């Protein structure tokens, strides 16, 4: 029996742009994802998040689903331009009112709200003034965070500043696969630093406000392996680990960027100034918990790309999901144990773990997603192993409660425990919904 005990938080996760829709309603400002998805050629199926799951209008129905599922907590993000249409200054009361109603209704249903402040939908006005490459955005984030801390304070169970700053920085500003779609490695590095600083400053404001709830950040972390034992592959793996994992973990727990990476980037023509002493101090005091989004490991070989000279390799005979991610359940305990040993976080939450599958709605109205159930069970069992070994894991969030707009993949990837018919917007619980419902009820599974 894999058992998690009564205190463990079972939840599900979403993000504003992926589910809300109502992209220009009730005074909401434009976000970089509105702009990006409206740009031809950026989204594989030419879709947008204009309507998405229409959660903005259907949140009551969605909370009923959460209630039926029996989750202890619900992780969602707040759309910054819904609250501050111009990024800073004027508040849009109607947008704020939506989150007031959402949080109130969750609490009435005994579901603990877990809020992510930034899950990638930056106000477009701020992007036009330099976006995350500019210090103005750091200032604006502090104001935005402060405003929400004051409004919701202890009504929110857990606060998360950023979701996957690695994705914002590198996929958004170097690869260009995500909004704002820039391709500039030096900019990506500057963005990564600004994201970390905006996190540290926001947490310091949070502490000054005296709010007695935990605050943290959600990083996408993964175990990294070299494809072969030869030196070039091993060095490539080390660098990828430096870029994906240590580039964020080291500042947050040790107050500085990893030295090997700073030197490597300098040699490549991408110098990055160190944190000042006061910035380091803020960073190392900034986490009550670490959120880990885990879905795959990476196997690396030497490559030709100018910044890292590293390339993700395919594992021969490996099991892959439709996102081309290797299914690697033991990576869950590996990454949790590694972080626990190397960085000693006070607490860990798995803030995302989920499986994309081309689900089919059968004529009898059911969705039999056995692959997803197997994926989730294997990952939960692996997580449990890390807990038995003493890692301080306090909760687990499935990505996602329902199928939604999967960024540049549009609606072509389904991650939900609930199937969404995008024609009618009808929600249909999949078999995995009932499986997870049972896991939560029994606090574990056989
Ligand atoms: C994570 C994102 C989340 C979702 C899942 C599949 O990287 O945080 O929004 O797209 O992947």
What digits encode the pLDDT tens for the residues 398-416? Answer: 999 999 999 999 999 999 9
Nearest Cα to Cα of residue 197 among 127, 160, 251:
251
Residue identifier of the C-alpha nearest atom 4 of ligand 1: 406
Ligand 1 pocket: which of 165, 178, 219, 293 to mutate (most atoms within 8 A of CB): 293
Asked if 154 is an active-site residue, the reply is no
316 in Cβ contact with 227 (< 8 Å): no
Q: Is the CB of 15 under 6 A from ligand 1?
A: yes
Q: Is the CB of 220 under 6 A from ligand 1?
A: yes
Count CA atoms within 13 Å of residue 274 on its CB side: 12
Considering only CA atoms, give the Rg of the chain. 21
pLDDT tens-place string over residues 181-192 = 999 999 999 999
How many angstroms is it from 136 CA to the middle of ligand 1? Answer: 26
**Confidence bin at 311 (pLDDT 50/70/90):** very high
Q: Which two tokens stand for residue 59?
A: 């949140």
Coil, strand or helix: which one is 394? strand
**Confidence bin at 195 (pLDDT 50/70/90):** very high
Which numbered atom of ligand 1 lies nearest the CA of 164?
Answer: 8
pLDDT tens-place string over residues 55-69 = 999 999 999 999 999
445 in Cβ contact with 439 (< 8 Å): yes
How many angstroms is it from 230 CA to the middle of ligand 1? Answer: 33
Give the pLDDT confidence score for residue 1 in this predicted structure: 86
**Confidence bin at 21 (pLDDT 50/70/90):** very high
Q: Cis peptide leading into 377, omega within 30 of 0?
A: no
Give the pLDDT confidence score for residue 212 in this predicted structure: 98
Asked if 30 is an active-site residue, the reply is no
What is the Cα–Cα distance from 333 to 385, expressed in whole angstroms? 6
Ligand 1 pocket: which of 399, 403, 404, 412 to mutate (most atoms within 8 A of CB): 399
How many angstroms is it from 400 CA to the middle of ligand 1? Answer: 9
Q: Phi then psi for 377, rounded to 5 degrees? A: -65, -40
**Alpha carbon of residue 303 to chain centroid:** 27
What is the Cα–Cα distance from 189 to 261, expressed in whole angstroms? 11
Contacts of 126 (CB under 8 A, 6+ apart): 87, 88, 134, 136, 137, 140
pTM over 0.95: yes
Contacts of 442 (CB under 8 A, 6+ apart): none
**Confidence bin at 330 (pLDDT 50/70/90):** very high
Give the pLDDT confidence score for residue 323 in this predicted structure: 96
Give the pLDDT confidence score for residue 244 in this predicted structure: 98
Percent of the chain at pLDDT > 70 equals 100
- Name all domains of the chain by residue range, CATH numbers in brackets: 2-445 (3.20.20.80)
CB atoms within 10 A of CB 6: 6
Contacts of 162 (CB under 8 A, 6+ apart): 116, 117, 118, 168, 195, 198, 199, 217, 218
Beta-bridge partners for 74: 12, 113
What is the Cα–Cα distance from 139 to 130, expressed in whole angstroms? 12
Indicate which residue of 164, 301, 326, 406 is catalytic.
Answer: 164
Q: Is the CB of 164 under 6 A from ligand 1?
A: yes
Q: Which two tokens stand for residue 408?
A: 């540049």
Give the pLDDT confidence score for residue 324 in this predicted structure: 95
Nearest Cα to Cα of residue 72 among 10, 119, 16:
10
- The continuous run of DSSP H or E covering 161 comes out as strand 158-163
Average pLDDT, the chain: 98
How many angstroms is it from 416 CA to the middle of ligand 1? Answer: 12
What is the Cα–Cα distance from 434 to 440, expressed in whole angstroms? 10
């Amino acid at each position: 029996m894999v058992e998690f005990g009564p205190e463990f938080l079972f939840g599900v996760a979403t993000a504003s742009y992926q589910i809300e829709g109502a992209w220009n309603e009730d005074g909401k400002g434009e976000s970089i994802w509105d702009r990006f998805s409206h740009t031809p050629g950026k989204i594989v199926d030419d879709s947008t998040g204009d309507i998405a799951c229409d959660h903005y209008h259907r949140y009551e129905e969605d909370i009923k689903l959460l209630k039926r599922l029996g989750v202890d907590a619900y992780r969602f993000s707040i759309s910054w331009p819904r609250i501050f249409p111009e990024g800073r200054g004027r508040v849009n009361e109607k947008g704020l009112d939506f989150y007031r109603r959402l949080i109130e209704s969750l609490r009435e249903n005994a579901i603990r709200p877990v809020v992510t402040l930034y899950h990638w939908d930056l106000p477009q006005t701020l992007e036009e003034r330099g976006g995350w490459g500019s210090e103005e955005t750091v200032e604006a984030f502090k104001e935005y965070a402060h405003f929400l801390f004051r409004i919701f304070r202890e009504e929110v169970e857990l606060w998360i500043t950023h979701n996957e700053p690695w994705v914002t920085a590198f996929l958004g500003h170097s690869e260009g696969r995500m909004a704002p779609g820039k391709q500039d490695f030096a900019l990506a590095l500057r963005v990564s630093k600004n994201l970390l600083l905006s996190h540290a400053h926001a947490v310091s404001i949070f502490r000054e406000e005296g709010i007695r709830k935990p605050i943290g950040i959600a990083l996408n972390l993964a175990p990294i392996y070299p494809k072969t034992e030869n030196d070039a592959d091993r060095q490539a793996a080390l660098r990828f680990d430096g870029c994906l994992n240590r580039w964020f973990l080291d500042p947050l727990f040790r107050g500085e960027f990893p030295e090997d990476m700073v030197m490597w980037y300098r040699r490549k023509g991408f110098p990055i100034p160190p944190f000042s002493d006061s910035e380091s101090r803020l960073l190392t005091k900034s986490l009550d918990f670490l959120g880990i989004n885990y879905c795959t490991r990476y196997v690396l070989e030497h490559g030709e790309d100018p910044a890292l000279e590293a390339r993700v390799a395919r594992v021969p005979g490996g099991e892959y999901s439709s996102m081309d991610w290797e299914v690697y359940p033991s990576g869950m305990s590996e990454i949790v144990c590694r972080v626990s040993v190397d960085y000693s976080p006070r607490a860990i939450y798995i803030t995302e773990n989920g499986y994309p599958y081309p689900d089919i709605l059968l004529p009898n109205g059911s969705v039999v997603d056995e692959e997803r159930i197997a994926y989730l069970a294997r990952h939960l069992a692996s997580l449990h192993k890390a807990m038995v070994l003493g890692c301080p894991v306090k909760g687990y969030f499935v990505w996602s409660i329902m199928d939604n707009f999967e960024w540049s993949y549009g609606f072509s990837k389904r991650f939900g425990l609930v199937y969404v018919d995008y024609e009618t917007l009808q929600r249909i619980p999949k078999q995995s919904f009932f499986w997870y419902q049972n896991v939560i009820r029994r606090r574990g599974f056989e």
